[in-house]
Structure 1
Amino acid sequence: MSQSTKAAQDSIIHDISLAPEGHLKIDWVQAHMPVLNRIREQFEREQPFKGLKVTISLHLEAKTAYLAKVVQAGGAEVTITGSNPLSTQDDVCAALVEDGVTVFAKYNPEPEEYKQLLIRALENKPDLIIDDGGDLISILHTERPDLRVNVRGGAEETTTGILRLKAMEKDGTLTFPMVAVNDAQCKYLFDNRYGTGQSVWDGINRTTNLVVAGKTVVVVGYGWCGKGVALRAKGLGANVVVTEIDAVKGVEAYMDGFAVLPMSEAARVGDIFVTVTGNRDVIRGEHYDVMKDGAILSNAGHFDVEVNKLELAERATSVRRVRHNIEEYSLQDGRSIYLLAEGRLVNLAAGDGHPAEIMDMTFALQAMSLKYVNDQHEQIGNKVVNVPYELDEQVARYKLESLGITIDKLSAEQSAYLDSWQEH
């Protein structure tokens, strides 16, 4: 039986007939991911995953699909599922099945079905995993520890997932090594900042079709994602307000030219809100009570807990869908508050996610980190480790080469000077 036939028999997707459109999407991003293409050529030669099973949970759209194909080119039997019910693209799933990848994913499944799709993706008892937000890790350490029998290690994509992993490591419950891809420089400096910055506004603008210039945008959280969202909002002509709990980041936002307010005050002036904290309930009941009529709420954190939907619903006399991915909450005093994409990741649930050229670097790190953890899992132990700097630097070097850019090198004398405390 061919791998494509096996994948077709085992997969759970919406509709295999959607595959042609999915192939076009994957072909488009492949043409714009030169770093990942270079790694694919290396994997095809070296076959680092030959005979291994790899399970991936990421936002299942075209760029993720191409990463799956690169890992498959390295000899792996690949199974993939989504990491958010609203970011899965059914045509991309169908195309992957035709390419021999087993897929357990559909757009917008019911919560219990979504959970079962994650579990099904792990029932192959993988050797390696790529996770996004820590859901696979959680299942393997709680409900289905029997499925982790072969796991050598894996790589985690997001801040939220790394926070969960480090808590597990601290508690002594993590049973295999995980590479914190999100903490690599070629991830957070580019993906989190420029990727999130652009894709969040792509999602908001295409969903609302409203002008940003002149409005007050409240960015909740000033980490690397928040920096990108604020920078792009400024570029679109918005007045930007930042809220923070970290004093250093508050000073940084101020010196970057943004107003810094507590949420109790920012809630009164904002027209558009974007949460990017990784924490829960950063916009909640008392904030809804003072918001402007027509305020727009969106989230760019991994889970849909940053905007408290329950407390918003409790204040509403009615909720209706006014556009695709926009729900209007009509409040008792006559005001309306709009929630985008059910409070899920607005850049993926209401858009196509980060640009391909950005995810080229991130997914190159994922592929190389997966090889690293496979090669070094016994030496690493049950810990969360950073991406080795050599891999980070290699991805940056490949990216520069793909752009036709060269940089300087240290001379022997300069290297000696930097390495010595005696030279003046």
Structure 2
Amino acid sequence: MTRGQEKIAWARAHMPVLAEVGRELKESRVLTGLRVAISVHLEAKTAVLALTLHEAGAELSVTGSNPLSTQDDVAAALAAAGPAVHARRGAGEAEYREHLRRVLEIKPQLVLDDGGDLTALLHGECEQAGESLIGICEETTTGVLRLRELAQAGKLRWPALAVNDARMKYLFDNRYGTGQSTWDAIMRATNLLITGKRVVIAGYGWCGRGIALRARGLGAKVTVCEVDPVRAAEALLEGFPVAPLAEAIREADFLITATGCRDVVRWEHLLAAKDGLVLANAGHFDVEIDVRDLRERAKGRRARENVEEFSLPGGKRIYLLAAGRLVNLVAGDGHPVEIMDLSFALQALSLAWLARKGAGLSPGVYPVPGAVDERVARLFLRSRGVRIDSLTPAQRRYLGREAADRG
């Protein structure tokens, strides 16, 4: 067994929910013969998702959604198992874009996107590749934002499911997954102590709050920076000091961005930072920290794997992790396996739902059906040996719920 196969086998052994969904998809044959284009962070857990769809009869073409998150040993193992794979760790921008284009050469009927790059190409230079497309499933906050921008502009051409907005996604993947995997990657990259350090989290959405909770659990002193007054109020009442970034950065030992927005950390912020600040980004794209401006203004050098040291005026040093890209996948293995079991079960069931229903939908961004969300939750509880109560008929009538709870 190769190293990539070992990684995939380990992940698969800890993904019981997706395994059950895979059995259902095989029996229903709903994906049999359908062409599916996939852009994901190509590592062991996503390989299990791809293999599940492949074994259910889908014809796959797969690429990575970030040029630094692909694990080559996993990509090779996945390709050896049957799906077409176009990805390489460290691919330059031109090669990365070419991989995306090659994936779309199958003229997909379904798209599983992570960040919206395939979707963008289908609405641009690869428009002809979408002639048979039924619909799109989008995994991330960033990708859903891009879909909604297309829809608001009247340009979205197909129905798309916002998988990121499903409760079994954001309550678990975004919060618990991002929280653990971000700190796992930071500690792998730096080998520095977290306890007693001052940590600043920019952004208090579900990802940011997960990072903040894990930082507090590690003994850090955490400050939150926000532009949304409601989220800032949440952070404050959950016990975190809240301050503008320009103030908070002055005492920060670690600064982590999780906003989904661009230019969050700029040169003027870095000039106010103290010596030794460690910078990391937990957002999908490498735009939250203005890395381009930093490279133009400061001299950088490799300090260790996934760590760059930059010398600022006055002799201060700051350390940038993972080139400002998604730190948990560049410097780590991404979210815990059991968390992605839930997210990928949602993705697989969402693709199946689109295969059945998508042709009858108008272009637009749709929520994951509640029955799909609940199905994943019930499968998860069953896998943990947990039983719950059900509503009585009188309670269902009182709440206006017609469908009986099952499981």
The TM-score normalised by the length of structure 1 is 0.93
Q: 2:387 aligns with which of 393, 406, 415?
A: 406
In structure 1, the residue matched to 2:83 is: 101
Report the Cα distance in structure 2 between the residues aligned to 1:416 and 1:302, rounded to whole angstroms: 43
Counterpart residue number, 1:378: 359
Following superposition of structure 1 onto structure 2, how do residues 70-109 of structure 1 map, counting pairs within 5 Å?
Answer: 70-109=52-91
Whole-Å separation in 2 of the counterparts to 1:188 and 1:418: 25
Equivalent residue number for residue 230 of structure 1? 212
Aligned-partner Cα distance in 2 for 1:286–1:307: 12
1:41 maps onto 2:31 in alignment: no
SS at match of 1:123: helix
Number of the residue aligned with 1:168: 150
Q: 2:324 aligns with which of 308, 318, 343?
A: 343
Which amino acid letter does the alignment assign opposite residue 140 of structure 1? L
Do the aligned residues in 2 keep the contact of 1:57 with 1:131 (CA within 8 Å)? yes
Is contact 1:207-1:324 (8 Å) kept?
A: yes
Match of 1:209 in 2: 191
State the Cα deviation string for residues 210-250 of structure 1 (Å, max 9, x = none): 00011110000000000100000000000000000111100
Corresponding residue to 1:324 among 288, 292, 305: 305
Q: Distance in 2 between matches of 1:322 and 1:202?
A: 19
Counterpart pick for 1:112 among 78, 82, 94:
94
Contact 2:271 2:312 in 1 (8 A): no
| Post-superposition offset of 1:314 | 3.2
Tell me which residue corresponds to 2:346.
365
Is the Cα contact below 8 Å between 1:198 and 1:232 reproduced in 2? yes
Decide which of 378, 383, 389 is 1:397's aligned counterpart: 378
CA 130–419 in structure 1, closer or farther in 2 if over 3 Å, else same = closer
Shift of 1:310: 2.2
The answer to whether the aligner puts 1:245 opposite 2:236 as a matched pair is no
What is the Cα deviation at residue 125 of structure 1? 0.8
Contact 1:199 1:351 in 2 (8 A): yes
* 2:272 pairs with 1:295: no
Structure 1 distance, partners of 2:86, 2:400, is 52
What is the identity, as a one-letter code, of the residue corresponding to 1:123?
E
**SS at the partner of 1:241?**
strand
Distance apart, 1:377 and its partner CA? 1.2
Q: Give SS of 1:277's match.
A: coil
Alpha-carbon distance, 1:414 to partner: 2.8
Q: Does 1:22 align with 2:4?
A: yes
- Structure 1 stretches of 5 or more lacking a match? 1-18
Which aligned pairs between 1:36-75 and structure 2 lie closer than 5 A? Answer: 36-75=18-57
Distance in 2 separating the partners of 1:381 and 1:212: 49
Counterparts of 1:135 and 1:254, CA distance in 2: 35
Ranges of 4+ aligned residues in structure 1 off by more than 6 Å? none
- The percent of aligned pairs where both chains have the same amino acid is 53
SS for the counterpart of 1:333 is helix
Identify the residue that residue 119 of structure 2 maps to in structure 1. Answer: 137
How far off is 1:34 after superposition? 0.4
Could you tell me whether the CA contact under 8 Å between 1:23 and 1:95 is conserved in 2?
A: yes
Q: Does 1:218 align with 2:197?
A: no
> Shift in Å at residue 149 of structure 1?
1.1
Q: Are 1:354 and 2:335 matched, yes or no?
A: yes
2:267 corresponding residue in structure 1: 285
The alpha carbon displacement at 1:110 in A equals 1.3
Quote the Cα distance in structure 2 between the aligned partners of 1:47 and 1:192: 31
Question: Any idea what the Cα deviations from partners look like across 1:113-136, whole Å, max 9, x if unmatched?
Answer: 111111111111111110011000
Secondary structure of 1:85's aligned partner: coil
Q: After superposition, what is the alpha-carbon deviation per residue over 1:279-315, rounded to whole angstroms, capped at 9, x for unaligned?
A: 0000001101110100000000000000001222233
- Whether 1:159 and 2:153 are equivalent positions in the alignment is no
Q: What is the rounded CA distance, in whole Å, between the counterparts of 2:51 and 2:387 in structure 1?
A: 30
Is structure 2 residue 238 aligned with structure 1 residue 263? no
Aligned length: 401
Amino acid at match of 1:209: N
Counterpart of 2:405 in structure 1 is none
Encode CA deviations 1:44-98: one digit per residue, 9 max, x unaligned.
2121111211010000000000100111122111110000011100011111111
What displacement does 1:343 show? 0.3
Q: Is the 8 A contact 1:47 1:73 kept in 2?
A: no
Separation in 1 of the partners of 2:377 and 2:316? 49
Rounded to whole Å, the distance in 1 between the matches of 2:343 and 2:39 is: 15
- What's the CA shift for 1:387? 0.2
TM-score of the two chains, using structure 2 as the length reference: 0.97
Q: Which amino acid aligns with 2:188?
A: R
Report the counterpart of residue 15 of structure 1 in structure 2. Answer: none
Q: 1:315, 1:332 within 8 Å by CA — same for their partners in 2? A: no
> CA–CA distance in 2 between the matches of 1:207 and 1:269?
21
**In structure 2, how many angstroms separate the alpha carbons of the residues matched to 1:287 and 1:349?**
24
